[in-house]
Amino acid sequence: MDRELVRKELDANSHDGSRLYQILRQLPLDLVGDLLLNLGPDYEGPLRRHLPRMASDEIQRNWTGTSGYHLLQQSCAFVRSIENNYRNFSGRSLQDATILDYGCGWGRLMRLMYKYTDPSNLYGCDPWDRSIEICRESGVAGHLAVSDYLPSTLPFGDLKFDLIYAFSVFTHLSERAAATAMSACRKAISSDGIMALTIRPPAYWHAHQDSQNVVDRHQMLRDHDTRGFAFTPHPRPAVDGDVTYGDTSMSLDYIERNWLGWSVLGVDWQLHDPYQTVVFLRPD
């Protein structure tokens, strides 16, 4: 598929925002990502009125540790895993699904979901208000809201989601924060919905870089082995007596024993990102 021809078609329809998103839904996922990647913060073309600009390389690296095409390839692989496994476990496609990005950050994955559903069906929340500010400054289309660090509910009223996904969120949450988040998501998912999230295996602790946060590797491995959950907090202010953010690993057995109202359907794993195991769940 010729990217320049697609860009010309987008330019020709730049006056009609809804038409632009219809065009994106007809394209391969990687091409959607490629086109949106190149709408950088300095892009001044007419498409800027409707399509989101890409966050700066600095923001991308600060949030994820990498940027540009390398990050895009990781993002597309995760989204493709979600799409394939959603179809496998639910028997439905993501076309026109109501989707929530839980912990959306600067919106890197929300943008790729334009391949599958209209922005009117797309939601994103994050407890850090700066994340939502960047999404809005970049023009990320969809419903955006700041969530609580220890949520009892999600900030979208009584809405029920077909899909909730959380990439590299539960890899950083304390035990209490993870439990409250899963309880809130359970209230917000449809009866036949699917949730996808990533967790870290115990091998992560051997690869952890102390330059970002010093951990006791032996203690973390013991905790993971004996409890199925290991967590070292970052030096951040406590929320209601709990430092909610740090570095986390957990086991499937821990999830099955502790996250009430959820059943594990299966997992996915990718060579290029071995410390992010994708877990798929459905509500009981």
CATH code of residue 195: 3.40.50.150
Q: Classify residue 57 by burial, with Cβ atoms within 10 Å: 0-12, 13-18, 19+.
A: middle
pLDDT of residue 15: 84
The pTM for the full model equals: 0.95
pLDDT of residue 40: 57
Q: Tell which phi-psi region holds residue 142, choosing left (phi > 0), alpha (psi between -120 and 50) or beta.
A: left
CA nearest to 204, candidates 188, 224, 185, 187: 224
**Could you tell me if residue 39 is inside a domain?**
no
**Could you tell me if residue 203 is inside a domain?**
yes
**Could you tell me if residue 24 is inside a domain?**
no
pLDDT of residue 17: 87
**Could you tell me if residue 77 is inside a domain?**
yes
Number of domains in the chain: 1
Tens digit of each residue's pLDDT, the chain (284 residues): 778 888 888 888 888 889 999 999 999 999 999 999 987 555 556 677 789 988 999 999 988 989 999 999 999 999 999 999 999 999 999 999 999 999 999 999 999 999 999 999 999 999 999 999 999 999 999 999 999 999 999 999 999 999 999 999 999 999 999 999 999 999 999 999 999 999 999 999 999 988 878 999 999 999 999 999 999 999 999 999 999 999 999 999 999 999 999 999 999 999 989 999 999 999 99
pLDDT of residue 124: 98
pLDDT of residue 45: 65
**Could you tell me if residue 9 is inside a domain?**
no
* Residue-number span of the structural domain to which 257 is assigned: 69-283
**Could you tell me if residue 143 is inside a domain?**
yes
